[in-house]
Amino acid sequence: MALPKLAVYKFASCDGCQLSLLDAEDELLAVAEVVHIANFPEASREVVPGPYDVTLVEGSITTPHDAVRIRKVRAESRLLITIGACATAGGIQALRNWADVDEYTRYVYAHPEYIEALQTSTPIAEHVKVDFELRGCPISKQQLLDVIDALLHGRRPNLPTYSVCVECKRLGIPCVMVVTGTPCLGPVTQAGCGALCPAFHRGCYGCFGPMESANMDSLTEWWLGLGVDDHGIALALRGFNAWAEPFRSQSEALLEIGRPR
């Protein structure tokens, strides 16, 4: 029986999420025995034509060319999985969505006329149907391997939808907000990293994006109580998952209120 064909595509991103596959040093060769890595430009010159059974998409849509390219990728993919904060939420480059891209271009490039960029950085799901999303900046290698395994065996991937707080409690890490008064996005952020930042005595900064039904108002009250102003809270929400709801609307509301410092 032919192995299922895997493709990996990159849009606007840092390469880190697709690198996660190459970083699976103990599993990479085993993965290559159960799936046919058919199109993965970062790792291989060989391009086996589609259609593909599973396509991993990294990065966000930021250029007119990419907005067209993603439709072609979708058309040749049976299952399309987005990997990482750029592909699922627009990434850090979605900060342009609140700015004037022409001004950004003039700031970075001497000849803005050479640059072709959309006004927005948007997640893949705003352009085409996505079958499954893997969160994280970067994604968790274990979650990626679990998803590939799940798809191969026709089961649903088993990924948490609860908050980083749950991971923290399980690991017995003292709450950084309670113990040291450190502002933390853990209560509103989806688990997946293993509560890494609290384990390193710092507040979570939201790599895995908003959890289901995050209580943004409660988080805001907590942060205000710790002495962070509206602007500071809004900036914290405007990180790697800035364009994901409800981080997006909460940051907008906070900047509108603009309670004086």
Least distance in angstroms from the C-beta of 48 to other proteins: 10
Instruction: For 124, list phi and psi in degrees, rounded to 5.
Output: -60, -40
Task: Judge whether 243 and 252 are in contact, CB under 8 Å.
Answer: no
Least distance in angstroms from the C-beta of 44 to other proteins: 3
Residues of the shown chain interacting with other proteins in the complex, contacts defined by CB under 8 A: 10-17, 19-20, 22-23, 25-26, 28-29, 32, 37, 40-46, 62-63, 66, 91-93, 95-96, 99, 101, 103-105, 107-111, 114-115, 117, 121, 137-138, 193, 196-197, 199-202, 205, 207, 235, 239-240
Q: Which is nearer to other proteins, 11 or 222 (CB)?
A: 11
CA dist 224 and 138 (Å) reads 29
DSSP secondary structure code for residue 19 in this structure: H
- By CB neighbour count within 10 A (0-12 exposed, 13-18 middle, 19+ buried), where does 7 fall? buried
DSSP one-letter string for 151-179: HHTT-------SBHHHHHHHHTPPPHHHH
Q: Which is nearer to other proteins, 96 or 248 (CB)?
A: 96
Task: Judge whether 129 and 80 are in contact, CB under 8 Å.
Answer: yes
Q: Which is nearer to other proteins, 101 or 175 (CB)?
A: 101
Least distance in angstroms from the C-beta of 151 to other proteins: 19
Q: Which is nearer to other proteins, 124 or 137 (CB)?
A: 137
Least distance in angstroms from the C-beta of 46 to other proteins: 4
Q: Which is nearer to other proteins, 24 or 131 (CB)?
A: 24
Q: Which is nearer to other proteins, 131 or 232 (CB)?
A: 232
- 182 conformational bin, left if phi > 0, alpha if psi -120 to 50, beta if neither: beta
Peptide bond just before 64 cis, omega within 30 deg: no
